[in-house]
Structure 1
Amino acid sequence: MKTNFLKFVLPMAVVALGLTSAMSTSAMDKSSEELAPIMGWKHVSGPDPCERVQICSNSGNFDCTAPDGEQLYAKPFSTCLTPLKRNVQ
């Protein structure tokens, strides 16, 4: 009786622990991604097509803009194409 109980309950406990660990790891990745500050770049002419302006975030409802009102972008490689947002206007 005791061995049958362990054969049934132990695998279920291991699966439950694995699922809980996977969900908590996924939630940690998402929360750190949403709060990370990103340098905002604006389009300019010249040898380097992007100019560094100010720190933005990658979440929020408002466009991240330069002091002159121009939209700022993320620069993952050599071009700045991804528009950035911020939490406050």
Structure 2
Amino acid sequence: MKTKFLNFVMPMAVVALGLAGAISTNAMNENGKEVAPVMGWKHVSEINPCEAVQECSNNGNFDCTAPDGEQLYAKPISTCLTPLKRNVQ
């Protein structure tokens, strides 16, 4: 009787422990979520529409700007349309 009970309960306990570990790990990752830096591009000219300037953290409330004060953008394909942000001014 003990063997049948252990053969039934032990796998369920192992699965429950694994699920609890996975959920707690996921919760820790979301609380300290770090965003990878994104290369900031600025508009230059019609011939060369975008030029790489510096990396932006792309989180926060401040505009990510070049040293000359121009707004920096993300470069999805060939044009720079998405403005980037940073967490420090």
Give the structure with the larger helix fraction: 1
Match of 1:7 in 2: 8
Structure 1 stretch 70-79 or stretch 3-12: which is displaced more?
3-12
Runs of at least 5 residues in structure 2 that lack an aligned partner in the other structure: none
Match of 1:88 in 2: 88
Percent of aligned pairs with the same amino acid: 57
Structure 2: how far apart are the matches of 1:16 and 1:81? 46
SS of the aligned residue for 1:40 comes to strand
Name the amino acid aligned to 1:57: S
SS of the aligned residue for 1:71 comes to coil
CA shift, 1:65, in A, is: 1.0
SS of the aligned residue for 2:70 comes to coil
Structure 1 stretch 4-13 or stretch 67-76: which is displaced more?
4-13
Aligned residues: 86
CA shift, 1:62, in A, is: 0.8
Runs of at least 5 residues in structure 1 that lack an aligned partner in the other structure: none
Name the amino acid aligned to 2:85: K
What pairs up with 1:1-89 in 2 under 5 angstroms?
Answer: 1-2=1-2, 3-21=4-22, 24=25, 27=29, 31-32=33-34, 34=35, 36-89=36-89
Structure 2: how far apart are the matches of 1:50 and 1:22? 42
